[in-house]
Structure 1
Amino acid sequence: MTMTRRTFTKLAAASAMSGLAAPAIAQGNREIKMILNWRYQGPQSWFFLADDKGYFAEAGIDMVMDQGSGSGAAVGQVAGGAYDVGFGDVNALIRLAATNPDEAPICVYQMYNKPPFTVAVLSDSDIMTAEDLEGRLLGGAPNDGALKLFPAFANLAGLDTSSIEILNFQSSLREQMLRTEQVEGVFGYVNTIRFSAKLSGMNPDEDIRFISYGDYGMDLYSNGMIIPKAMAENEPEMVKGMIWAINEGVKDTLADLDAAVDSVAAREPLINKEVEKERLIATLQDEMNHPELATTGLGAVDPERFATSIDIVVEADQLPRTPDASEVYTDAFLPAEEDRIYSLL
């Protein structure tokens, strides 16, 4: 997947529209611990660029970023107090808000606005549609966002899950388990699987078929910045500064993809920079490029679509209550809209 020269021109122009200073907060850096959704890869580059360019420091934050074990897990780790901030799946947050509203954190910057959830199967498999998953052995990491959403997906797709067996294993084994046919399908984010498979020696365009949740009516948001409600209430200026810093990191990523990948390599020297650049571009185009972006700007949600996505999760998972959108997401800490309009096409 490649970007055109026109695309880079658009990205650079969008990036040049920066100009906003960090929100003023008290002197002295506040240490913040962030748990990422996954390992250090291309799509985490904006966090590292924000750190390398001093944006967090300018906002009075000493940001400590740890690798994650899944987007769903990040929400629980923030809710449980192990981390101050998480880059996690808003659908896991919806489930927590429906079942334990007092414990649930809140999303303050929605980044992935297209559903990346999928079941990947080998292209020579006879699994062609969601219905073909019945009676199969599937597998994934327990905290994987796609696996956690599978009951909801199965409900929407009309699947009989009693005939489906699911094997749990470490996320690092996923592509190997699929390639060696120890399972017939694996759960994950489409670009995580695609490029991890590529690194393992597979050709994802020829060797893998994706059964995508979005093709069956699950038009959901996914990853965003998750914080405790107490932080939102007690440290609003610090939260504004943190979101400003991340937003600046995104713009710098769009302006210079190679520098963005270099920032990841500074933390994880063993990455394949060429593959991680491809993964980054695919994430920008496939997971962050919903048409609504042109009017809402990155970080915001479309209220009607977001309410519908909550209803989908609640109904499909048969949750005990429907949380109000304000329990799950707030735009109170976003930079100005004109500073969040990016052209990713």
Structure 2
Amino acid sequence: MITRKIARRTVVAGAFALMTAVPAVAQSLTPIRFTLDFKHQGIHAWYYVAQEKGYFKAEDLDVKIDQGEGSAATVSRIVSGAYDAGFGDINAIIQVAAIKPGEAPVMVYQIYNRPPFVLVTKTSGPIKSIKDIEGKKLGGPAGSATLKLLPSLAKANKIDISKIDILNMAPNLQEQMLIQDQVQGSLVFNVTSYMNLIQQKQNPDTDYRWFNYGDHGLDLYSNGIMVSQKLLKENPKAVAGLVRAINKALKEVIDNPEMGVKTLAKIEPLINQDVEKKRIAYALGHLMNGAEFTELGFGDLTDGKLTRSIDVIAEAYDLKAKPKASEVFNRSFLPAKSDRMFAPKPN
């Protein structure tokens, strides 16, 4: 009789222990809606590597990734509440932070420490230096950051903006109209336009000149990982986990771009894998190699440069207020510097 009671107690105790252990094992994941800045490209591979390899899940996150509609649109999508985080332009954050303090997303991991804003011209054309744009016809999509910042570029280089003829064009016509000499220069995002020219059987290295705004007086930051104010305040642990997972995947894609592109191709089978590998290499060489990288590593930035960027954006967009650097960027979620010091392998 005593033996049966002991056995029954043992079974009950074991069952209770199992029941209490279940919640720890089946712990729910924090859902995060994440928006890219554009359609699937090689420069998005690390997000899908983090997803496929379980890096998000290891941080107790369930991250759903959607394609974007432009770097600035990432900010508006997050402000609307439709998304919790995304990959987008810090300069768009500055604009919203000036108009709606406390509502703008906050950058937590800077990826592009050089701006993608570029004037591209034909080598055979009349524009040989940045000052040659006076009296010429330039084209760009209405509302694009590259076009919007043109007056600031002109000011920095003592160019009379009134002497430039601007033609608004659809984004998908920028390279085509330049090739056909309908404009003498096109105002583009370099990481997109460079690949578009390759796909149109052009040689972007020998047949075109690239006037990067960052080399001509507008040394700005650009895209990185931003999160909503709500996520930042209510779940800082999730923000830190998101950044760690992306940092880990970014390192792996930089070490092995082919792996990254193959992972992306599982999501978007129609991509040209060779072109997207070149896009990653181009981004590393032109957008992710700012002078401060060797000192700070990926993800971080200098407050002084950000403050100067805020001044440029405030003037270009006629902002009535200037947000502080601390309102735009928060470095407290960055992994240790030693975990962010990585660079591409030599070819």
TM-score normalized with structure 1 length? 0.86
TM-superposed deviation, 1:266: 1.5
Contact conserved, 1:310 with 1:322, CA < 8 A, in 2? yes
Residue 102 of structure 2 contacts residue 229 of structure 2 at CA under 8 Å; is this kept in 1? no
User: Is 2:22 the partner of 1:40?
Assistant: no
What does the per-residue CA deviation read over 1:201-238, in whole Å, with 9 as the maximum and x for residues that have no partner?
Answer: 11111222112212221111111112221211111111
Kindly provide the amino acid, as one letter, of the partner of residue 309 in structure 1. S
Aligned residue for 1:232, secondary structure, equals helix
CA contact (8 A) 1:253 1:259 kept: yes
Partner residue in 1 for 2:244: 244
Amino acid corresponding to residue 115 of structure 1 in structure 2: P
Greater CA drift, 241-250 or 168-177: 168-177
Rounded Cα–Cα distance in structure 2 between residues aligned with 1:142 and 1:34: 26
- How far apart, CA to CA, are the structure 1 residues paired with 2:33 and 2:178? 34
Structure 1 residues 92-103: aligned runs within 5 Å: 92-103=92-103
CA distance in 1, matches of 2:313, 2:152: 6
Q: 1:35 to 1:148 in 2, by over 3 A?
A: farther
> In structure 1, what is the Cα distance between the partners aligned to 2:72 and 2:250?
22
**Residue 283 of structure 2: aligned partner:** 283
The offset of 1:318, in angstroms, is 4.1
> Structure 1: how far apart are the matches of 2:33 and 2:161?
38
Instruction: Report if the CA contact (8 A) 1:156-1:316 is conserved.
Output: no
Q: TM-score, normalised by structure 2?
A: 0.85
Equivalent residues, number: 321
CA contact (8 A) 2:178 2:186 kept: yes
Are the equivalent residues in 2 in contact too, given 1:42–1:260 (CA < 8 A)? Answer: yes
SS in structure 1 of the partner of residue 205 of structure 2: helix
What whole-Å deviation, never above 9, does each CA across 1:234-292 have from its counterpart, x for those lacking one? 11111111111111110111221110111121222222211211110121122111232
Query: Which residue does 1:16 correspond to in 2?
Result: none
* Residues 165 and 70 (structure 1), Cα distance of their counterparts in 2 relative to 1, 3 Å cut: farther
Give the CA deviation at 1:87: 1.1
SS at match of 1:205: coil
Superposed, 1:98-177 pairs within 5 Å as: 98-142=98-142, 144-177=144-177
3-state SS of paired residue (2:206) = helix
Q: What is aligned with 1:5?
A: none
RMSD: 2.2
Partner of 1:11: none
SS at match of 2:333: coil
More divergent stretch after superposition (238-247 vs 91-100) = 91-100
Does structure 2 conserve the Cα–Cα contact (< 8 Å) formed by 1:152 and 1:317?
Answer: no
| 1:71-99 Cα shifts (integer Å, max 9, x gaps) | 22222222233322221111121122223
What residue ranges of structure 2 are gaps of 5+ in the alignment?
1-23
Q: Secondary structure at the match of 1:32?
A: strand
Residue 269 of structure 2: aligned partner:
269
Task: State the alpha-carbon separation in 1 of the partners of residues 143 and 68 from structure 2.
Answer: 10
Aligned to 1:259: 259
For 1:45 and 1:39, how far apart are their aligned partners in 2?
12
* Cα gap change, 1:294 to 1:252, in 2 (>3 Å): same
Matched AA of 2:333: F
Residue 271 of structure 1 aligns to a residue in which SS? coil
Are the counterparts in 1 of residues 149 and 316 from structure 2 also a CA contact under 8 Å?
no
Judge which range, 156-165 or 229-238, deviates more. Answer: 156-165
Deviates more, 1:169-178 or 1:258-267: 169-178
Residue aligned with 1:91, SS: helix
Structure 2 distance, partners of 1:77, 1:174, is 26
Moved more, 49-58 or 289-298: 289-298
Aligned to 1:8: none
CA distance in 1, matches of 2:160, 2:93: 26
CA contact (8 A) 2:74 2:88 kept: yes
Would the aligned equivalents of 2:126 and 2:184 in 1 still touch at CA under 8 Å?
no
- Determine the structure 1 residue equivalent to 2:191: 191
Greater RCO, 1 or 2 (C-alpha within 8 Å, sep 6+): 1
Between the two proteins, what is the percent identity of the paired residues?
Answer: 40
Q: Does residue 210 of the first structure (1) align with residue 237 of the second (2)?
A: no
Structure 1 residues 312 and 172: CA distance shift in structure 2, 3 A: same
Q: Which residue of 1 aligns with 2:308?
A: 308
| Structure whose CA Rg is larger | 2
Larger deviation, residues 67-76 vs 309-318: 309-318
Q: d(CA) in 2 for partners of 1:69 and 1:142? A: 15
Residue 225 of structure 1 pairs with residue 225 of structure 2:
yes
Q: Report if the CA contact (8 A) 1:71-1:89 is conserved.
A: yes
Are the equivalent residues in 1 in contact too, given 2:56–2:242 (CA < 8 A)? yes
Distance in 2 (alpha carbons) for counterparts of 1:138 and 1:35: 31
Distance between the aligned counterparts of 1:30 and 1:126, measured in 2? Answer: 55
Aligned to 1:87: 87
Give the secondary-structure state (helix, strand or coil) at the position aligned to 2:288. coil
Does residue 342 of structure 2 align to residue 325 of structure 1? no
- For 1:259 and 1:143, the matched residues in 2 are separated by 36
CA contact 1:155–1:316 (8 Å) conserved in 2? no
SS at match of 1:319: coil
Structure 2 residue aligned with 1:72: 72
